[in-house]
Chains A and B, each alone.
Chain A
Amino acid sequence: MSLPEKVLVANRGEIAARIMRTLRALEVPSVAVFHALDRESPAVRDADEAVELHGDTPVGAYLNAAEIIAAAKDTGATAIHPGFGFLSENADFAQAVADAGITFIGPPPDAIRAMGDKIESKAIAEKAGMPTVPGSDGAVADADAALAAADSVGYPVLLKASAGGGGKGMRIARSAEECREAFDLASSEALASFGDGRVFVERYVDRPRHIEVQVLADGHGNVVHLGERECSIQRRYQKVIEEAPSSFIDPETRAEMGARAVDLAKAVGYVSAGTIEMVVDGERNFYFLEMNTRLQVEHPVTELVTGKDIVAEQLRIAAGEELGYDQSAVELTGHAIECRIYAENPAANFAPETGRLALVHFPAGPGVRVDHGTTEGQEVSASFDPMIAKVIGSGADREDAIRRSREILRETVLLGVQTNADYLERVLAHPAFAAGDTTTSFLDEHAEDLVAGALSAEEERLLLAAAALASPRFDHRFEIPEPLAAMGEWRP
């Protein structure tokens, strides 16, 4: 297997640790980069070498392209893996890395650029034969043009910022009156958030599912897809539970979605791992949403049902190897579910939480995978994304994967910071989730059912007893024998 000689991982947290794991398994020397706050993190500990980065903010350090490229040169790294987020979809960074004579483990800058713009990528997708949601032909000039476009595609419509993401600059309109107002709001929000007020109009798909296809492309024109992931369970437009395969997709739809995704990847000259996100309506019609030109947070569920290490595939591809297999060799076996554990309070509209992780314990065993970059004693601060870990349960079928994932969530111990782990367990336990009735409005529609139930009187007594026996307050009053205290034993 030919592989890059030495790889710098330009990321942090769980994804940096996860990439390091494959590098170690393949015996590829690794370089970590880190902001001072992450000095003790597992990724830094596991790397062969580590270089400190600097920035105006901790996040800024990981966006410091010049320092990252300099670190690669200084350590003799021949390739840079950007992970996800940060610089991973920055075409200028990919270009700068290439210009420095270093391999960017990802697609060519042109492919990143083409897919980075919502209007341009939609046009390319359409030309490649990928269905797109009916909508305006590019950005609309003003509210009147938005109204005309809405009339031709039919209400309800969605007004979306061209440069948008994460739900910003996005408005639903169900009538002409709402459309005029929605245009103004979306446009001004887009201008404020992205410095680009361009807005386009498309039909709004009610109760949609969010399903995406993983593709792998080598530098020799070979492209395969690794099936789909369903990522419909979202809060604040962010995924929290993802699974593979989707219980909603039949083999014919899967083959069709996969073929369209492969054609799109070919059309943009794609190389490396990429993901084509689609919105799917109740009749299994799928429409192009966007292409993520990088490794995806939820890639582990695909790895578990295909048996492929996607990071290893990226490394092979970056070293110029051919995929070496075709679509017929890609088989899906079993089912896998990923739950993203965030430091947040589901009862307060998922507001982020901070604190010190006083105790960390993850379960292990067959069908259990945990990707995390935490250490006990670590501060979960507002400086970075509040995702603590991804726990992935897999099994022979969906029911098995749900059961195992629920066990993992119940056995994951994270003390000192509030997390959404018990909330996610209630989502998996919900009959509508078991039935596969998963749309992007799931968490809103079932909000009342997802509130924690009341404790029994006995359970509450057990908690009170444990707290009392553990608390130093009670120690102080009742436990210190007088003679010992008189001998001067120090107690806080």
Chain B
Amino acid sequence: MRLEISTEGGDATEVAVSRRRSDATIWIGGRAYQADLRRVGRAYELQLGDRVEKVWLAVDHDTVYLHAFGRAWNMEVFDPVERSLQASVSEDTVTAPMPGTVVSIAVGEGDEVHAGQTLVTIESMKMQSEMTASRDGRVERVNRQVGETFERGDALISLEPEDDAVKEED
């Protein structure tokens, strides 16, 4: 099985690795290269074919953070099969577009809301913005209180899954 790697969130490239003791053969986009990654102090020396480059790296699960060519790079390693099995993006939550603080919350748990209605007001980068419901539904959970901070991608408000809401109306 092969894995895919994307650079800075761009298109993924198919990559396979076969290791022997110290060096490895890497297939990138179907072509084979001799490669070696050796620790030098806190950094690494990467050899690929004839080219040698100093790189710094840190691994966090499937993200490999690299510093090379004078800047940082974000690499994502993933299994294409696994990824396709993951659920598609849900409309059930209002997620934070950037880190910030909750300024006010306009709804409570159990409230009926309609698409476009303001649910929560947040402050990021000293600017306030209103987060609205993407569809009609009922508020299941309010995950943050006024004054609390959040990171990008955190779920601020959850709506009841659409199927349940339909059932209740029945």
Name A's B-contacting residues (CB within 8 A).
56-57, 166, 168, 236, 348, 350-354, 356, 358-359, 361, 381-383, 409-411, 413-416, 418-419, 421-422, 425, 452, 455, 458-474, 477-479
On whether the beta carbons of B59 and A472 are closer than 8 Å, the reply is: yes
The yes or no answer to B66 lying at the interface (CB within 8 A) is: yes
Contact B77 A465 (CB under 8 A): no
Other contacts beyond A236-B125, A351-B97, A411-B70: 5, CB < 8 A = A416-B65, A462-B46, A462-B48, A463-B7, A466-B46
Contact call B28/A352, Cβ cutoff below 8 A: no
* Chain B neighbourhood of A356, CB < 8 A: 60
| Inter-chain contact B72/A414, CB cutoff 8 Å | yes
Interface residues on B, range: 35 or more
Contact A464 B72, beta carbon cutoff 8 Å: no
CB-CB nearest 3 A-B residue pairs: A410-B70, A382-B99, A358-B58
Name the interface residues of B57-71: CB closer than 8 Å to any CB of A. 57-60, 62, 64-71
Q: How far is the CB of A409 from chain B (nearest CB, A)?
A: 8
Residue of A nearest to B65 (CB): A415
Asked whether, in the complex, the Cβ of B98 is within 8 Å of the Cβ of A352, the reply is: yes
CB distance from A58 to the nearest CB of B (A): 8
Residues on the A chain within 8 Å of B3, using CB? 468, 471, 473-474
User: Which residue of the partner chain, among A166, A463, A465, A479, contacts B126 with CB atoms under 8 Å?
Assistant: A166
Interface string of B5-28 (1 = CB under 8 A from A): 101000001010111000010101
Residues A382 and B57 in contact, CB atoms below 8 Å apart? no
Q: Among the listed A415, A419, A452, A465, which residue makes an inter-chain contact with B26, where contact means beta carbons less than 8 Å apart? A: A465
Interface positions of B (Cβ within 8 A of A): 1, 3, 5, 7, 13, 15, 17-19, 24, 26, 28, 33, 35-37, 42-44, 46, 48, 51, 53, 55-60, 62, 64-75, 77, 79, 97-101, 124-126, 147, 149-152
* A481 nearest CB across to chain B (Å): 10
A188: shortest Cβ distance to chain B, in Å? 13
In the bound complex, do residue A361 and residue B17 qualify as a contact, i.e. CB atoms below 8 Å apart?
Answer: no
C-alpha spacing A461/B43, complex, angstroms: 19
Residue pair A467, B147 in contact (C-beta under 8 Å): no
CB distance A465 to B28 under 8 Å? yes
B75 lies within 8 A of A381 (CB): no
Choice from A168, A410, A458, A465 contacting B35 with Cβ under 8 Å? A465
B72: min CB distance to chain A, Å: 6
> Which B residues lie within 8 Å of A350 (CB)?
125
User: Can you name the residue of chain B whose Cβ is closest to the Cβ of A406?
Assistant: B70
Contacts of B1 in A (CB 8 A): 477
Residues of A within 8 A of B53 (CB): 462
